[in-house]
Amino acid sequence: AQSVTQPDIHITVSEGASLELRCNYSYGATPYLFWYVQSPGQGLQLLLKYFSGDTLVQGIKGFEAEFKRSQSSFNLRKPSVHWSDAAEYFCAVGAPGGYNKLIFGAGTRLAVHP
């Protein structure tokens, strides 16, 4: 069965610092991979996705993520964090050929210090 692990429950960074949020997945083949962001009281907004091809994908708001098959990882990165990036971030996996449902990780809550 598919599963997603986000090892870090909370992360705090200073504004302007770089950021990396970790995501590991369990799936027998190459899944479809997603990162969503959720601000307080809001639904989930798609940051980026990986379906195939280039393993480094660019998303909105200056985020990028790299798919590493050997490590079953899809870590999210941003070179310089802004205070408005404070939110909860969810990694999700979808199964190719399946019914398009997504399995989500437990999320990482990001705090940004001024």
Partner 1 sequence: EAGVAQSPRYKIIEKRQSVAFWCNPISGHATLYWYQQILGQGPKLLIQFQNNGVVDDSQLPKDRFSAERLKGVDSTLKIQPAKLEDSAVYLCASSLSILGSGANVLTFGAGSRLTVL
Q: Scan for tokens 């870590």, then name that residue.
A: 75
Residue 67 DSSP SS3: strand
Among 12, 18, 45, 71, binds partner 1 (CB under 8 A): 45
Q: What is the C-alpha end-to-end distance of the chain, expressed in Å?
A: 41
Regarding 3 and contact with partner 1 (CB under 8 A), the answer is no
User: What does the per-residue mask of binding to partner 1 show for 86-105, with x meaning CB under 8 A?
Assistant: ----x-x-xxxxxxxxxxxx
Taking residue 112's Cβ as centre, other Cβ atoms within 10 Å add up to 19
Among 51, 53, 111, 114, binds partner 1 (CB under 8 A): 51
Regarding 77 and contact with partner 1 (CB under 8 A), the answer is no
Give me Rg for the CA atoms of the chain: 14
CA distances (Å), 48 to each of 14, 25, 28, in order? 23, 16, 22
Regarding 67 and contact with partner 1 (CB under 8 A), the answer is no
Regarding 25 and contact with partner 1 (CB under 8 A), the answer is no
Q: Which residues bind partner 1 (CB under 8 A)?
A: 4, 6, 32, 34, 36, 41-46, 49, 51, 90, 92, 94-107
